[in-house]
């Protein structure tokens, strides 16, 4: 079984200052993302993005917009030797459509665990919201809560050093 780090997207991987980030030109990587993810990957962690994208349900943008941003993100990380093993997103919003994937529900995490053979007891979720923490706890994954747009490299070093449990 694989160990993994699940990563929220907006506010963790990229600048979450915009209400919605759905255009490639608005996607800005946060400080420390490249170095931090490389540290995790080099330590044998699979990297998996788990993100709520409720703007789709609200009609603010399309699933094609989400796909374009995710393609850009994965390609840019790939250019730096970082491999994202899966990108899971929830296009729903409770005001528009109910689901079991929107964080704090665990549908996306559970699907990734199944798809990628992940050992939840050796895995982490880095997120900047209480929703992320709640989803991690429900899924049996160790939560790591950051501030929005915080440099995640120090957290990644702590995960690898076994300083977070």
- Please give the positions annotated as active site: 8, 10
Is 43 within 8 Å of 164 (Cβ atoms)? no
Q: Provide the angle, in degrees to the nearest 10, between the axes of the packed helices 33-42 and 153-161.
A: 20
Interior/surface letters 80-107, b for 16+ CB within 10 angstroms, e for the rest = eebebbbbbbbbbbeeeeeeebbbbbbb
Element (H, E) at 139: helix 130-139
């Amino acid at each position: 079984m694989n160990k993994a780090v699940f990563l929220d997207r907006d506010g963790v991987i990229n600048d979450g200052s915009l209400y919605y980030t759905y255009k490639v030109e608005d996607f800005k990587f946060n400080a420390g993302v490249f170095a931090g993810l490389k540290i995790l990957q080099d330590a044998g962690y699979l990297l998996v993005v788990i993100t709520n994208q409720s703007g789709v349900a609200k009609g603010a943008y399309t699933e094609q917009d989400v796909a374009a941003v995710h393609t850009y993100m994965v390609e840019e990380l790939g250019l730096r030797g970082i491999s994202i093993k899966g990108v899971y997103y929830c296009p729903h919003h409770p005001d528009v459509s109910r689901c079991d994937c929107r964080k704090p529900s665990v549908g996306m995490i559970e699907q990734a665990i199944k798809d990628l053979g992940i050992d939840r007891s050796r895995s982490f979720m880095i997120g900047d919201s209480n929703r992320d923490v709640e989803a991690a706890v429900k899924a049996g994954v160790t939560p790591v809560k950051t501030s929005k747009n915080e440099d995640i490299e120090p957290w990644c070093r702590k995960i690898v050093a076994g300083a977070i449990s």
